[in-house]
A = this chain, B = another copy of it.
């Protein structure tokens, strides 16, 4: 698909990515998960990238978390994502194409009980998409919560 000019610089992010991740936080036991993550251009006429992600338990594939929303690319990127926990996350950030790094910091977390800030760093390098998602809560400062390393689906 032809990419909207605003989307084209973000081409390295686009695709269906699969792999494994791990979670940790002071208030929970560490855990692992499998994941499918998609960044997808919506339409050549739209400066919008659709995002969706779902994770599952390694043991039996039972669904864990899911998220879905949109990245609006630009010098300043805007991120609107709904989480299956009921959190509506708005973030702003930037894409550094030379480093392959998308960095997003939350400006609003509607519907959140305890989470007060989320920071996401997605890095595309050597054919892999890796991320670190950090979280601050009413009782913890900003700490890494989720890390994953995913490979693009080439089917």
Chain B residues with CB under 8 A of A19: none
Given contacts A45-B62, A80-B82, A84-B46, contact A90 B111 (CB under 8 A): yes
The reply to whether the CB of A148 lies closer than 8 angstroms to some CB of chain B is: no
The reply to whether the CB of A72 lies closer than 8 angstroms to some CB of chain B is: yes
Report copies per complex: 2
Which residues of A, 26-55, contact B by the 8 Å Cβ criterion? 42-43, 45-46, 48, 50, 52
Interface contact A43-B63, CB-CB below 8 Å: yes
What distance in Å separates the Cβ of A139 from its nearest Cβ neighbour in chain B?
Answer: 21
What distance in Å separates the Cβ of A22 from its nearest Cβ neighbour in chain B?
Answer: 21
Interface contact B84-A82, CB-CB below 8 Å: no
The reply to whether the CB of A68 lies closer than 8 angstroms to some CB of chain B is: yes
Chain B residues with CB under 8 A of A109: 110
Query: A69: which of B42, B46, B63, B69 is its contact (CB, 8 Å)?
Result: B69
List 6 interface pairs A-B (beta carbons < 8 Å), by A numbering.
A42-B66, A46-B63, A72-B86, A80-B88, A88-B89, A108-B110
Given contacts A90-B88, A110-B90, contact A69 B82 (CB under 8 A): yes
